[in-house]
Amino acid sequence: MHKALNAYEQNAKVTQSPRELEASLLLKAASQLQYIADNWRDNWGKENNEFLAALYYNRRLWSVLLGSIAGQENPLPIEIKNNVASLGAFVLRHTISVQAYPSPEKLKVLVTINKELAAGLNAAEAK
Domain boundaries, the chain: 18-126
Would you place residue 84 in the very low, low, confident or very high pLDDT band (cuts 50, 70, 90)? very high
pLDDT in tens, 22-71: 999 999 999 999 999 998 877 666 678 899 999 999 999 999 999 988 88
Quick one: which H or E segment has residue 7? helix 2-15
Average pLDDT over residues 79-98: 95
Give the sign of the dihedral formed by CA 114, CA 117, CA 118, CA 119: positive
Note the CATH number of domain 18-126.
Answer: 1.20.120.340
- Which pLDDT score is estimated for 58? 97
CB 13 within 8 A of CB 21: yes
